[in-house]
């Protein structure tokens, strides 16, 4: 059965091993007037001490964006948004981003092509794309063509999703379980796959 093509970025689903999954995030700063959208479910990095959009080959991954809080420059009201709208020019306070930054957190993400069950344990990169401004969700996906055993890839594949609509490994757009292979808090070089 074909998988449903509906990318959603990276969705937190648990922890590697038997660690407790508390769903916690940590707060980081977004620079005033930062020029790019940051979507819920997008992987992010630190650049000069502030949050930045993750790149397809970034080795300093910090985590996955879960939303931000700031004082809206138009209404002057405290605002929670599940995505950061590019070039937000606040006049008071700061823009606080909340990030799933635990390097052992497991995520579920859709792949832009087909990878095999035999690729479990290998590494994979991200295809970074614009998100959905209506719901604020990322549309980033895992990049099927990048699967390799080399260390310098962002994610490690740990399994396939249990989602009945997106767990057919023999067709494109299956959802896979991954965790960071390259992460700011444990290694910027990653480890080789099997």
Q: Are 15 and 180 in contact (CB under 8 A)?
A: no
- Structural domain contains residue 21: no
Cβ count within 10 A of residue 133? 11
- Structural domain contains residue 2: no
The answer to whether residues 96 and 130 belong to one domain is no
- Structural domain contains residue 194: no
pLDDT higher than threshold 80 for residue 64: yes
The answer to whether residues 92 and 116 belong to one domain is no
**pLDDT tens profile 118-160:** 999 999 999 888 899 899 999 999 999 999 988 888 999 999 9
Nearest-angstrom CA–CA distance, 50 and 42? 16
For residue 173, give its domain range.
Answer: 103-180
- Structural domain contains residue 56: yes
What would the DSSP string read from start to end of 11-30? EEEEESTT-------EEEEE
Q: 55, 76, 100: which is the final residue of a domain?
A: 100
- Structural domain contains residue 9: no
**pLDDT tens profile 79-118:** 999 999 999 999 888 999 999 999 889 999 999 999 999 9
The answer to whether residues 175 and 161 belong to one domain is yes
Q: 51, 75, 100: which is the final residue of a domain?
A: 100
The answer to whether residues 96 and 107 belong to one domain is no
Nearest-angstrom CA–CA distance, 194 and 192? 7
Nearest-angstrom CA–CA distance, 193 and 187? 15
Beta carbons within 8 Å of 18's beta carbon, 6+ residues apart: none
Beta carbons within 8 Å of 2's beta carbon, 6+ residues apart: 168, 171, 172, 173
3-state secondary structure of 58: coil
pTM, to two decimals:
0.92
The answer to whether residues 57 and 107 belong to one domain is no
- The structural domain count of the chain equals 2
The whole-number pLDDT of residue 1 equals 67
């Amino acid at each position: 059965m074909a998988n449903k093509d509906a990318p959603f970025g990276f969705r937190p689903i648990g922890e590697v091993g038997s660690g407790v999954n508390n769903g916690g995030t940590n707060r980081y700063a977004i620079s005033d007037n930062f020029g790019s959208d940051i979507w819920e479910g997008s992987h992010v990095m630190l650049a000069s001490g502030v949050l930045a959009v993750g790149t397809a080959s970034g080795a300093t991954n910090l985590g996955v964006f879960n939303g931000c809080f700031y004082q809206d420059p138009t209404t002057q009201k405290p605002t929670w948004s599940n995505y950061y709208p590019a070039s937000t020019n606040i006049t008071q306070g700061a823009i606080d981003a909340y990030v799933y930054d635990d390097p052992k957190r497991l995520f579920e993400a859709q792949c832009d092509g087909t990878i095999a069950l035999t690729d479990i344990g290998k590494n994979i990169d991200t295809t970074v794309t614009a998100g959905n401004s209506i719901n604020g969700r990322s549309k980033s996906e895992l990049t099927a063509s990048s699967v390799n055993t080399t260390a310098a890839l962002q994610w490690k594949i740990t399994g396939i999703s249990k989602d009945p609509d997106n767990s057919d490994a023999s067709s494109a757009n299956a959802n896979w379980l991954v965790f960071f292979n390259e992460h700011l808090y444990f290694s910027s070089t990653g480890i080789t796959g099997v």
